[in-house]
Amino acid sequence: MNLTLKVWRQKNRSAAGEFATYQARDIIPDMSFLEMLDVVNEEILAQGHEPFAFDSDCREGICGACSLVINGIPHGGNKGVTACQLHMRHFHDGQTITIEPWRASAFPVDRDLITDRTAFDRIIASGGFISAHTGGAPDGNALPVSKPDADKAMDAAACIGCGACVAACKNASAMLFVAAKVSHLGLLPQGQAERYDRVVKMVETMDNEGFGNCTVTGACEAVCPKEISLEFIGRLNRDYLVGSLKK
């Protein structure tokens, strides 16, 4: 099939950006979306122009590097998949596709479709961990964890830190990302000692990094490639309340 792409191009953080139009020719349905972009980029290069830059690494939906807004929807709107796992069989001949970077002031654009998401790392650095020095840990089975708790913690821990939740939110809030980590660690017995301190610090950093407020519209849950549930935000709010009262 043949497609028309409108791709966001921006030289660097301070430059103004604009859409450029490219043709994607002879695309086959088994290609992944990123493989389609590779094909187009090879053609752009062959014509003597600089290819557009986009992030990707694992290309199997787990590293969280790929970060494209496709036709207005982060990761393209196929439930539970990242852009790298989106396949061309979901598009049709003659379609026009717009491709943009994440849009959020906490994620500045470094070039074309690439943004700087280090704000997420700083949120984790402020409290998204269990302080367990290497060495001296008790036997792994010394502390039983009920299967439902372990499973639920795993549901939350599945977050890949891609930032689609922020890109989808009209307030560019990072609540779902923070809630996932707070819930993952807060559901486990090992995470109890720092539970309330953790949530307060992480929320504070989130605010300082320029992410917006959560108004629970659920746009984040809808685009999350790992289908992280909105209910974790409820958990965060409860823990946050307790945490701020303790302060």
Partner 1 sequence: MNLDAKIPSGPLEKKWDKHRLDMKLVNPANKRKFEVIVVGTGLAGAGAAASMAELGYGVKAFCYQDSPRRAHSIAAQGGINAAKNYQNDGDSVYRLFLDTLKGGDFRAREANVYRLAQVSVNIIDQCVAQGVPFAREYSGMLANRSFGGAQVSRTFYARGQTGQQLLLGAYQALERQIGLGKVKMFPRTEMLDLVLVDGHAKGIVVRDLVTGEISSHAADAVILATGGYSNVFYLSTSAKGCNVTAIWRAYKRGAAMANPCYTQIHPTCIPVSGDHQSKLTLMSESLRNDGRVWVPKAKGDKRPAHDIPETERDYFLERKYPSYGNLAPRDISSRAAKEACDDGRGVGPGGLGVYLDFADSVKRLGETGIREKYDNLFAMYETITGENAYKQPMRIYPAVHYTMGGLWVDYNLQSNIPGLFVLGEANFSDHGANRLGASALMQGLADGYFIAPYTLGNYFATNKIPRPTVGHPEFKRVGDEVNARTKKFLSIKGKRSTTSFHRELGKLMWNNCGMARTKASLETNLRDIPALREEFWKNLNVLGETNSLNQSLEQAGRVADFLEFGELLSRDALLREESCGGHFRSEYQTPDGEAQRDDDHFAHVSAWEYQGENQTPVMHKEPLVYEEIKMSQRSYK
**Which is nearer to partner 1, 114 or 214 (by Cβ)?**
114
- In a 3-state reduction of DSSP, which class is residue 95? coil
Binding residues for ligand FES, rule: CB under 6 A, are: 56-59, 61-66, 82, 84
H or E element in which residue 156 lies: helix 147-157
Q: Which does 103 bind (CB under 5 to 8 A by kind): ligand FES, partner 1, none?
A: none
**Which is nearer to partner 1, 30 or 245 (by Cβ)?**
30
Smallest gap from Cβ 75 to ligand FES, in A, equals: 9
Q: Which residues contact 186 (CB under 8 A, 6 or more apart)?
A: 192, 195, 198, 199, 235, 239
Query: How far is C-alpha 198 from the geometric centre of its chain's CA atoms?
Result: 21
Q: Which does 192 bind (CB under 5 to 8 A by kind): partner 1, ligand FES, none?
A: none
Smallest gap from Cβ 227 to partner 1, in A, equals: 10
Q: Which does 66 bind (CB under 5 to 8 A by kind): ligand FES, partner 1, none?
A: ligand FES
**Which is nearer to partner 1, 134 or 245 (by Cβ)?**
134
Smallest gap from Cβ 225 to ligand FES, in A, equals: 7
Q: Which does 94 bind (CB under 5 to 8 A by kind): ligand FES, partner 1, none?
A: none
Q: Which does 193 bind (CB under 5 to 8 A by kind): partner 1, ligand FES, none?
A: none
CA dist., res. 81 & res. 148, Å (int): 25
Which pair of tokens denotes residue 55?
């992030």
Smallest gap from Cβ 142 to partner 1, in A, equals: 8
Nearest to 169 by CA among 136, 132, 215: 215
CA-CA distances (angstroms) from residue 175 to 19, 181, 192, 204, 215?
A: 30, 10, 20, 12, 10
Nearest to 54 by CA among 160, 162, 176: 162
**Which is nearer to partner 1, 1 or 124 (by Cβ)?**
124
